[in-house]
């Protein structure tokens, strides 16, 4: 399996190449530079591996939620590559990629992923590892004020993402002793988008290029895009 993945949904910009269970990644925290960085990252990964796009099996991208501009960049880049190389695309939740990274790097099995959505809200998703070790979404991803995020099941959860930096007081007040710890400096990585996409491809979640669309969660953003 050979798969290229990108994520530009937050301040971090990353690209990853998955080849037969091995993952190489370019990652950089660079707000507002994603449009400049992402294609050179892709070219570097493919060049280092001696591969061209037409030798890949699929593409994947962090579909959001996240930065409005960032998720549009990722979708646009992947659509262009997919059209050119006639490759299927696996859209992956950026919140799920964040949770997967926390599971893999910190051995946390219950993750409350939160991105700062601005205007007093967070993009929110609760993830729990199942027996094979895959992160499964509990409930739905949503955008809401931190003081009304859905309360997860009792037990210890680990918070991750920029929402925990922007709204730590409101989140801990809401969730109380369910929060066993948090790291506001966690970011989704394209390497984890790739890992999730491999499973998604096997599960039949691939789409063609024209259906590789961003997910914003905010209805008003979706309306603006359709106007």
pLDDT by 10s per residue, the chain, length 227? 999 999 999 999 999 999 999 999 999 999 999 999 999 999 999 999 999 999 999 999 999 999 999 999 999 999 999 999 999 999 999 999 999 999 999 999 999 999 999 999 999 999 999 977 889 999 999 999 999 999 999 999 999 999 999 999 999 999 999 999 999 999 999 999 999 999 999 999 999 999 999 999 986 444 333 33
Angle between helices 68-85 and 34-49 (to 10 degrees): 40
Domains and CATH numbers, the chain: 2-93+188-226 (3.30.420.40), 95-183 (3.30.420.40)
Sorted by sequence, the CB contacts under 8 Å of residue 108 that are 6+ apart come out as 102, 158
């Amino acid at each position: 399996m050979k798969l290229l993945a990108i994520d530009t949904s937050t301040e971090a910009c990353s690209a990853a190449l998955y080849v037969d269970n091995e993952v190489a990644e370019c990652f950089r925290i660079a707000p507002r530079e994603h449009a400049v960085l992402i294609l050179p990252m892709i070219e570097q990964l493919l060049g280092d591996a001696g591969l061209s796009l037409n030798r890949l099996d699929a593409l994947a991208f962090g579909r959001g939620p996240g930065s409005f501009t960032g998720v549009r960049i990722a979708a646009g880049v992947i659509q262009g590559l997919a059209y050119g190389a006639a490759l299927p695309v696996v859209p992956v939740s950026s919140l799920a990629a964040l949770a997967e990274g926390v599971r893999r790097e910190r051995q946390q099995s219950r993750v409350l992923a939160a991105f700062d959505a601005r205007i007093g809200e967070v993009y929110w998703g609760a993830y729990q590892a199942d027996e094979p070790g895959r992160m499964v979404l509990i409930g739905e991803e949503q955008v809401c004020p931190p003081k009304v995020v859905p309360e997860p099941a009792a037990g210890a959860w680990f918070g991750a993402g920029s929402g925990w930096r922007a709204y730590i007081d409101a989140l801990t007040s809401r969730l109380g002793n369910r929060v066993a710890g948090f790291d506001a400096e966690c970011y989704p990585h394209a390497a984890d988008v790739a890992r999730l996409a491999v499973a998604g491809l096997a599960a039949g979640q691939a789409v063609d290029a024209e259906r590789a669309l961003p997910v914003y969660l905010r209805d008003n953003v979706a309306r603006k895009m359709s106007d």
